[in-house]
Amino acid sequence: MDQPHPNIAAGDHKGYMEYALERARLSPPASTKFCVGAVLVDATKNEILSTGYSLELPRNSLGDPGSTHAEQCCFIKVAQKHGLPEERIGEVLPENTVLYTTMEPCNKRLSGNRTCVERILRLNGAIKIVYVGIKEPEIFVGENDGRKRLEDAGVVVKMLEGMQYRILKVSTTGHEAETK
């Protein structure tokens, strides 16, 4: 499971995004995916509930086809901790749960796996705010309208400014090897 988490001051959104970026650095680089990190936080208690990064958990985790995304890994860990299927973790998430993710949650997957936007929305309002580091580059699936879909469903999506270059660099680790 997760290692001990750093102490991050309440409301330090950049601190939480820095931690998500740390998680993203753990993702194995590849030209066919992004290295993304995510942190799920109980904003009331200022407590990290779980973290995740792309490909942290094995393919086909909990019966979903394909590789695991950062947000999905956060949710799977909460599900395993509480002995619930992933789609029911909204029942145990604290009222003020916030998601930090280095990249906009996906709204289309080439693997056939459930998208991260669908995973957030099926929690029926358990996650009310998503802090995002960068918009998903249009490399694999074209324009990602995940932010719009979340906002249309009442989820607040806030872009954190000032870290885009570093996040993009980590996110695309492994892409440069294919172009040389």
User: 145 burial class (0-12, 13-18, 19+ CB within 10 angstroms)?
Assistant: middle
Q: Where are the alpha helices (DSSP H) in 42-115?
A: 70-82
Residues 77 and 50 sit within 8 Å (Cβ to Cβ): yes
The residue annotated as part of the active site, out of 18, 71, 86, 136, is 71
Q: What would the two tokens of residue 6 be?
A: 């750093």
71 is catalytic: yes
Residue 123 backbone zone (phi > 0: left; psi -120 to 50: alpha; other: beta): alpha
Task: Cite the active site residues.
Answer: 71
